[in-house]
A and B are shown apart, each in its own frame.
Chain A
Amino acid sequence: MPIGRLVRAGLVGGIGVIFVSLVGLMARISEINLIGTQVTGAYAFLALVPFAAAYISVRPRVVAGRLEELTAGRSVSFGAVTGLAAGGLVAASLLFTSWYGVERIREVFIEVTQELIDVLSFGQSAIVGASILVLGGLLLGAAGGGFRTLAPEARKVLATAISATLLMGLLQRIIPIAMLQLGLDPDWMYDPISSGLTWVGAAVTFFVALGAAWLWARRGRAARETLRTMTREQPGTRVVVGLVMIAILATIPWLVGSVISEVLGAVMVFMLLGLGLNIVVGYAGLLDLGYVAFFGFGAYATALLTGATLNTTTGSAAPALSLHLNFYVALPIVVLLAAGVGLLIGAPVLRLRGDYLAIVTLGLGEIVSILIGSNWLKPLVGGPQGMRNITDASIAGFSFRDPQHFYYLSLAFVLLAAFVSLRLSGSRIGRAWNAMREDEQVADAMGISTTRYKLLAFAIGGAVGSLGGALLAVRIGSLTPASFVILVSITALAVVILGGMGSIPGVIVGALVLIGLPGLLREFEEYRLLIYGAALISIMILRPQGLIPNVRRSRELHEEDRSQDKWAGDLAADEDTAASLSPLGEGSG
């Protein structure tokens, strides 16, 4: 038994739990009731850690060139060891804390409170709590090991059902509202007091998800195939599918209510940033860390073109330059100007690649952020105080200030940006970007002007980014430099990477996960960056191609393993053919 490895996996999990506890996240997630009042976020997390650690530690390994899978019995017992290590470490820390004194530890780790101890000891005494942790770790570890022995499809179906149940618990602020709006009674599903799923609701969700996942596993491919043939053979179906999707998208703000609509508005601003950055980074392969420049430019240019007032210490003032154009007249101007800014930013960095490009764009982005907040540009954009009273983007009196209305405006922008991205990626231009990303020098030698296509990527990426800025400007009608910091560039890049570079659905999911979830769970606000970091690290290790990868990009990431195999195969094949051929009867030189 490779005891060292198993214990190590468990200890890593245990350290994770301790870390999450020390930073205060554990106490925070214990306030979220997922199912009843029993399954809180904290307990779900505590259960998940030994389970996952065990599941990972018993994965098949390559031993002496052969993939070695463990027998079922070994899987379970090995998993139990890992789970025991995880639970044991947490239990030991709990005992140590109660022996040493919560108050004394709190002098260093201020988030260690009696409530945290109560959570970790399940409301019992420290000894009993520690025993539960150890025993629970053992059992869950065994379960995690056992899970590995199931058939892959069964694993997938079960995992889907469990995650779906937990997700429904997490979405407790959306689903009940939507049910009410639809005239359904949510009380049987969501407990109005604990606000989590009821046990009945959880069971129903679990079995429905189980059934759906099972059906999908069996018939999903066939169903997708049928749909594809249908849309190909009958153009009418395509229109119908499109209309249905648009109808669903259109009813969302009404379904989820004002608060969630506001979150969705923020999500879609970042979807736009992600889609724009995806053109630069995902399609053209140019790592741009200063993308906030376009966001800021779009926002302030929109404000100046449509009219706004500056915030000053004495009240308000008119900006040095202010046109009073209609938003929809100003928008094309903003987009064109932003494309121009893209060219300006692109031109000095044309010769740079990789790290150097990233550093220089980072600097250029910072310059724009600082200019926005500077005293020098104060007469134009209000300096640190920013501006307000930006003209609304209303159409015939229909205002988009209301979050539920703003959703439609941003949806239109996102659909537009996605459409443009999609068409470009499938065109001659997309092909040129692809070629350039894969091998710049060869693309050049094959007749692609890399200068031109780099600039084009910066210009179009910048134009899409400025749409995001314009949205932000009209969303609440005021702007301050605090919205245009480097963190925006980093978040947009995180959206692209998490979703999958070069993938439009990836960007959409990435923005929903990175912006939507934290917006939904306000408890996590101060831990947002911590969670981003954790999410990015896990995605880079577990799924470097992103959540919904672009086929080609994921090929790139697995290139090395594959080309090695491929070469080995080729060599063997070549030798065979060569050996089977008779010597050539040609004269040699």
Chain B
Amino acid sequence: MAPLLEIVGVQKQFGGLSALAGLDLHVDEGEIVSVIGPNGAGKSTLFNVITGLYAPDGGDVIFRGESIVGLRPHLVAKLGIARTFQNVHLFPNMTVLENAMVGQHCRSKSGVVGSVLRLPSTRREEERIRVRATEALNFFGSRLSGYRQEQPAFSLSYANRRRLEMARAMATDPSLLLLDEPTAGMNPRETLELRDHIVRMRDELGLTVLVIEHDMRVVKGVSDRVIACDYGQKIGEGSYDEVAHNDRVIEAYLGTKAVG
């Protein structure tokens, strides 16, 4: 079976710096794949290239057998790739529910006429959007449900902002979810809880997840496969244990032994 997402020799330069230097990787349907690597390894750049925020300088990004290079980000989202950001980017002054409802935008189609006249089809669609957004929020249990849904997003705690960002991405009904350091800034208990959530995303919702993560407990707990990057290239791939004992990976994280 062809992989859901395939990255072939993707390159991206910023001035003289090669953020991605011919990176190859693939993600199969129903997998949870972690991308690890030291800071500056090009992990977030990879996400930005996949979702169309950056155009790659070379190589190809293939989703469901078709190249998505050059597509605008909203079209990538519509195809079924949703993401979160390393530094949480919510719509801070919209309510929690509205944030999640924005996720459903690409799955709805009411136009100006329908909205102004509030046609029955528009009302049904709006109701559907609301239900779907609430579902996505309720995935995180009581964290984002009830009275919280009517509060502005900026009033949420840091961990809840991250959860809301994930809920918003899930509300786009994606098949592939890209999570950029989902546990950054969370306390140990929250991190643990989120680890279970990522596994549930696959097991209960059938999502394929590509996750950038620094917390090795999370990486170990969720990954079917781990890909290690450094200097914009893949330096190791395999199960968590294989990668954890890969010499190049250890070198990338800890440096080489001094010679002599």
The complex places the Cα of A446 from the Cα of B91 at a distance, in Å, of 11
Check A441 against B53 for contact (C-beta < 8 Å): yes
Which residues between 10 and 34 of chain A lie within 8 Å of chain B, taking CB atoms? Answer: none
Pick the most buried of A450, A556, A570: most chain B CB atoms within 10 A of its CB. Answer: A570
Interface residues on A, range: 35 or more
- The 8 A CB mask of A542-560 against B (1 = contact, 0 = none) is 0000000000110110010
For residue B152, CB closer than 8 A to chain A, the reply is yes
B91 contact from A438, A456, A553, Cβ within 8 A:
A438
Shortest C-beta distance, A272 to chain B (Å), equals 16
* B111 nearest in chain A by CB position: A429
Bound-state Cα–Cα, A574 to B169, Å:
25
A555-B152, A578-B187 given as contacts; is B102 within 8 A of A448 (CB)? yes
Write the nearest CB–CB distance from A520 to chain B, whole angstroms: 34
Contact A434 B53 (CB under 8 A): no
What does the 1/0 interface line of A562-589 toward B look like (CB < 8 Å)? 1100100010011001100101101111
Q: Is the interface of A mostly helix, strand, loop or mixed?
A: helix
Asked if A423 and B115 make an inter-chain contact with CB atoms under 8 angstroms apart, the answer reads yes
Could you tell me the distance between the alpha carbons of A435 and B98 in the complex, rounded to whole angstroms? Answer: 9
Interfacial residues of chain B within 90-136, with CB under 8 A of chain A in the complex: 90-94, 98, 101-103, 105-108, 110-112, 115-118, 122, 125-126, 129
Query: Nearest Cβ distance between residue A415 and chain B, in whole angstroms?
Result: 13
CB neighbours (8 Å) of B103 from chain A are: 446-447
A447 / chain B contacts, CB cutoff of 8 Å: 74, 77-78, 103, 105-107, 172
Given A442-B85, A445-B83: A432 and B105 within 8 A (CB)? yes
**Closest residue of B by beta carbon distance from A430:** B115
B102's nearest neighbour on chain A, judged by CB, is A435
Inter-chain contact B73/A587, CB cutoff 8 Å: no
With the chains together, A97 CA to B160 CA distance in Å? Answer: 66
Q: From residue B144, how far is it (CB to closest CB) to chain A in Å?
A: 16
The B interface, classified by DSSP as helix, strand, loop or mixed, is: helix
Q: Name the distance in Å between A420's Cβ and chain B's nearest Cβ.
A: 5
List of B residues within 8 angstroms of A570 by Cβ:
157-158
State whether the Cβ of B51 lies closer than 8 Å to any Cβ in chain A.
yes
Task: Check B154–A587 contact: CB distance below 8 A.
Answer: no
A439 with B112: CB separation less than 8 A: no
Residues in B lying within 8 Å of A, measured CB to CB? 51-53, 72-78, 82-83, 85, 89-94, 98, 101-103, 105-108, 110-112, 115-118, 122, 125-126, 129, 152, 154-155, 157-158, 168-169, 172, 187-189, 192, 216-217, 219-221, 240, 244
Would you list 17 pairs from A and B whose C-beta atoms are within 8 A, ordered by A residue? Answer: A427-B122, A428-B108, A428-B129, A432-B105, A442-B89, A444-B53, A445-B77, A445-B83, A446-B169, A447-B77, A456-B112, A552-B94, A552-B152, A559-B92, A559-B93, A584-B188, A587-B220
Other than A555-B92, A581-B189, give 14 A-B pairs with Cβ distance below 8 A: A427-B116, A428-B108, A429-B115, A431-B98, A435-B94, A438-B91, A442-B91, A446-B77, A447-B77, A460-B112, A553-B93, A566-B155, A578-B188, A589-B240
Chain A residues close to B by CB (< 8 Å): 419-420, 423-424, 427-432, 434-435, 438-439, 441-451, 456, 460, 552-553, 555-556, 559, 562-563, 566, 570, 573-574, 577-578, 581, 583-584, 586-589
